[in-house]
Copies of this chain bind each other. A is one copy, B any other.
Amino acid sequence: MTSASFDFAPLLAPNLPVPAARWNGFPKYNFIGGHNDAERVPVDQLIAAATAVLRREGASLATYGLNSGPLGYRPLRDFLVAKLKSHAGITCTADEILITSGSLQGLDLVNSLLLAPGDTVLIEQETYGGALTRLTRLGVKTIGVPLDGEGMRMDALAAALADLKRRGVQAKYIYTIPTVQNPTGTIMGTARRAELLKLAQSHGVPIFEDECYSDLIWDGERPPALHAMAKGSGVIHIGSFSKSIAPALRVGYIVAGWDLLARMLALKQDAGSGALEQMVLAEFCAAHFNTHVPALTSGLRVKLDTLMEALAEQFGTSAEFEEPKGGIFLWVKLPDQVDTLKLSQAALAAGVSLNPGPEWSTDKAFGKSRLRLCFANPAPETIRQGVAVLADVCRREFGVPARIANVERATAR
């Protein structure tokens, strides 16, 4: 049963992306994707939440949008109002929150709201690969702003904004992941956030703040959101439950003024995001969010330590990295001769998946010998084995790390 006998090729829309490859299961050593720790999914509590909320309100599944309207399940928005206030300093009402099918739908809605082909946006030079591919597909120009240990560099942003002004170009937004930056794992301090807001406002450019990872901070100390510091003015904020509860639940949210949400609702032609997931999350989060997240985070921290130890052991000084402040990934620099696009192909053949740096950066040369390793999903022993396999592949392909890397390290430090 195939469509082979009818030839669709001449009918396809122009400029389609490359077809997806067939899925053949996860690689043995899975260091990509935002997958989380299977042992930390709060299964019992989710069952209890599903049972309670379905018992109480299951009949409302007969209605699109339940009894909450198109912005999403009201108790979940109410939870978010309180959570965003206490965790991120954001003051908003339930009518200023739109529940989305993952924060990816949030990205799409904000892009649809603001962007047309040929537009220009400012974006962190190293950033979420999915944001970059979306912008490329939309025909939008991205200007990458270099990072340091606190995220986007303000001298570089000021220069980029001044350059655009000189050229008469209106940037549509500044996209930033200020808290647990993806992929570098940095946190932008409060002073720099103030500087960013000042620069953005003085140039009339809104900020698109992506706070997907902000719940996962080792010390639990999260600066106020840019949205909070700006009192909502000129900032669109998105977040997600994918990282804090479970990624397969596709529930994210957008925080913005009603004037913008009304525009985005008109673009969100999906008859609402999945209701059962919203109901179960709201029920679960009201009772358990504040105890679940620290337990999850401390487990992630152990896995990060395992990964960093394994890298030090297997790669020695060949693998350079800064310890991330939270999250689920480590951004690693290998020696200059390593091409991580090639490495990722060779590694995959050996059962190791990784994100090559060029896919996570606007500067392909800068990204060339860098890679992102996600550590949340594999068990500690799998992390150790996977890093050993990766070191073998890298050595075979690029001559580094030297075979005695761990000895080198012991003597060098």
B-contacting residues of A (Cβ < 8 Å)? 1-6, 8, 10-14, 16-23, 25-26, 33-41, 43, 46-47, 50-51, 54-55, 58-67, 69-71, 90-93, 95-96, 101-102, 104-105, 108, 112-116, 130, 133-134, 170, 172-173, 201, 206, 231-236, 242, 246-251, 256-260, 262-263, 265-267, 269-277, 280, 376-377
Contact = CB atoms under 8 A, between A and B. Distances in A.
23 contacts: A1-B93, A1-B96, A1-B232, A2-B233, A2-B257, A2-B258, A3-B232, A12-B114, A16-B263, A19-B259, A21-B262, A22-B258, A23-B71, A37-B62, A41-B59, A46-B58, A50-B280, A51-B51, A61-B248, A62-B246, A246-B275, A249-B274, A250-B272
Contact of A92 (B1, B92, B265): B1
Contacts of A376: 62
A344 to B, nearest CB: 18
Given A50-B47, A50-B51, A270-B250, A38 B60 contact: yes
A95 B1 CA distance: 11
SS of A interface (majority): loop
A39 B59 contact: yes
A35 B22 contact: no
Contact of A63 (B1, B22, B61, B248): B248
Contact of A43 (B17, B55, B250): B55
A49 to B, nearest CB: 9
Contacts of A58: 41, 43, 46-47
B276 A248 contact: yes
Instruction: List 8 A-B pairs, minimum CB-CB distance, nearest first.
Output: A23-B69, A3-B257, A6-B234, A248-B275, A43-B58, A274-B274, A20-B265, A19-B262
Given A13-B112, A13-B116, A20-B266, 14 more contacts: A1-B231, A2-B233, A3-B234, A13-B113, A14-B116, A16-B267, A23-B71, A38-B60, A60-B248, A61-B246, A62-B377, A101-B273, A248-B272, A275-B277
A76 B70 CA distance: 27
A372 to B, nearest CB: 16
A213 to B, nearest CB: 15
Nearest to A57: B43
A232 B2 contact: yes
A41 B47 CA distance: 19
A11 B4 CA distance: 45
Contacts of A8: 114, 206, 259-260
Listed residue (A59, A60, A250) with the most chain B CB atoms within 10 angstroms of its CB:
A250
A260 B134 CA distance: 21
A185 to B, nearest CB: 20
B269 A104 contact: yes
Nearest to A36: B62
A2 to B, nearest CB: 4
A130 B269 CA distance: 8
Contacts of A54: 43, 46-47, 50
Contact of A19 (B17, B105, B114, B266): B266
